[in-house]
Copies of this chain bind each other. A is one copy, B any other.
Amino acid sequence: MDTAAAIETAEDQLCCEPRGLPVLNAAEAHEAARILKALSDPNRLRLLSIVKAGDGGKACVCDLTEPLDLGQPTVSHHLKILVDAGLLEREKRGTWAYYSLVPGALERAASLITQL
């Protein structure tokens, strides 16, 4: 219809002109959200902060349970999420488990936001 076409054209000018710029696709968005979701909890942010401030960027679980005022299983749970997201790595030394930042991981996570 001429009328419909005319209306559409008018609306395009007013509102919806098609563009061809690079936009995040569903798969990319899903992957980025997976990382950012790990960073979207206050206690996990504090865990990362404590680990980062720790000597040599390392901290054992006993350093982490107390200042967060959380149970030990809960801290273990959060640490697992951070490891699965590729932000922390776990190294077991004797009875203790030491967690450290994966080099560059935080910067990569931040660039997921700035490079949208």
Contacts and interface: CB of A to CB of B under 8 A. Distances in A.
B53 A21 contact: yes
A59 to B, nearest CB: 9
B16 A62 contact: yes
Given A16-B60, A62-B16, A110-B114, A43 B29 contact: yes
Among A14, A46, A62, max chain B CB count under 10 A is at: A46
B36 A40 contact: yes
A37 interface: yes
Given A30-B42, A33-B45, A46-B24, A14 B96 contact: yes
Interface in A41-66: 41-43, 45-46, 48-50, 52-55, 60, 62-63, 66
